[in-house]
Amino acid sequence: MKNPIQMKSMKIPACFAVLLAALLAFPLHQALADQDPHAVVEGVTEKLLSDISSYRKALNDAGDRSEREARMADFLGQLQQTLEPVVDFPWIALNVMGSHRQTATPEQQERFREVFTRALVETYGRGLLSYSGQDIVVLPSAESGAGQRRVTVRQEIRGADGRIPLLYSMGVDSDGDWKVVNVIINGINLGTTFRNQFAQSYSRYGGDIDKVVDNWAVQNPDN
């Protein structure tokens, strides 16, 4: 297994998993209401290490494949439930569809949101378990978030082989909560990457959005 900190061979799932991990196991909805986005990220980053250890131990202790799959399913379900208050999956999914969402029915838009969210959570949830103890640092910023509706939070994954910069855009939703709306990992814009993937699939299937949704999978740009 490649070390996710390696700069030249960086894999998106492993690295984005660490970003998602930085948002776990904290009273997120309350935190978003009470703190600026940088404090939220810093607080949950401190909590993530014990959670990763706990989930990994539960999976390693599974008696057989069936039990492991059941525990993985529980983990992914909890991961999605935890992320939904802080990641604006509906907005991101519509943005990924781009202009093609105008030709989609509300039902197709909703189905894509569900498939897109599930694919992201599963891909990066599994990558999360490969986290191997690198330092995760939230970098200081002059942007406090006060009086703003969009802020970029900068973070680094630091290890023996180098540093991976993480930038994620956080916006204020209609309820006044800070949510992640896009991520850039080591210069790779995930919003643009997934939007291009959707456009290519749309072309491949002749504009049949149902087929795009049926065949959707999170792709690794390094492959």
114-125 pLDDT, tens digit each = 999 999 888 777
pLDDT beyond 90 at 85: no
**Span 42-56, average pLDDT:** 62
Which of the pair, 139 or 115, is modelled with greater confidence? 115
Residue 127 lies in a domain: yes
**Span 77-99, average pLDDT:** 86
Residue 49 lies in a domain: yes
Residue type, 21: A
How far, rounded to the nearest angstrom, does the alpha carbon of residue 19 sit from its chain's CA centroid?
7
pLDDT beyond 90 at 133: no
Q: Helices H, strands E: what count in the chain? A: 8, 5
Residue 168's beta-bridge partner residues?
153, 183
- 154 pLDDT band, cuts 50/70/90, is confident
Q: Which domain holds residue 146?
A: 12-205
For 23, 76, 90, 124, 216, the CA distances from 118, given in Å and listed in that order, are: 17, 9, 12, 10, 10
Distance from C-alpha of 138 to C-alpha of 38, rounded to nearest angstrom: 7
Residue 186 lies in a domain: yes
Residue 214 lies in a domain: no
Residue 29 lies in a domain: yes
Closest CA to 121 of 80, 69, 181: 80
Provide the number of structural domains found in the chain: 1
The predicted pLDDT at position 45 comes to: 55
34: its two tokens: 């009470």
Residue 219 lies in a domain: no
**Helices assigned H by DSSP within 65-208:** 65-83, 89-97, 106-128, 190-204
> Would you tell me how many other CB atoms lie within 10 Å of the CB of residue 133?
10
Distance from C-alpha of 214 to C-alpha of 138, rounded to nearest angstrom: 37
pLDDT beyond 90 at 218: no
187: its two tokens: 């210069």
Model confidence, pTM: 0.76
pLDDT-wise least confident of 132-141, 183-192, 207-216: 132-141
Residue 137's beta-bridge partner residues?
156
Which of the pair, 99 or 174, is modelled with greater confidence? 99
The predicted pLDDT at position 185 comes to: 85
pLDDT beyond 90 at 43: no
Which of the pair, 54 or 180, is modelled with greater confidence? 180
Question: What's the CATH code of the domain at 104?
Answer: 3.10.450.710
For 27, 156, 177, 223, the CA distances from 13, given in Å and listed in that order, are: 25, 16, 26, 12
Residue type, 188: I
Residue 6 lies in a domain: no
Q: What is the percentage of the chain residues whose pLDDT exceeds 90?
A: 27
Residue type, 52: I
Residue 3 lies in a domain: no
Which of the pair, 28 or 183, is modelled with greater confidence? 183
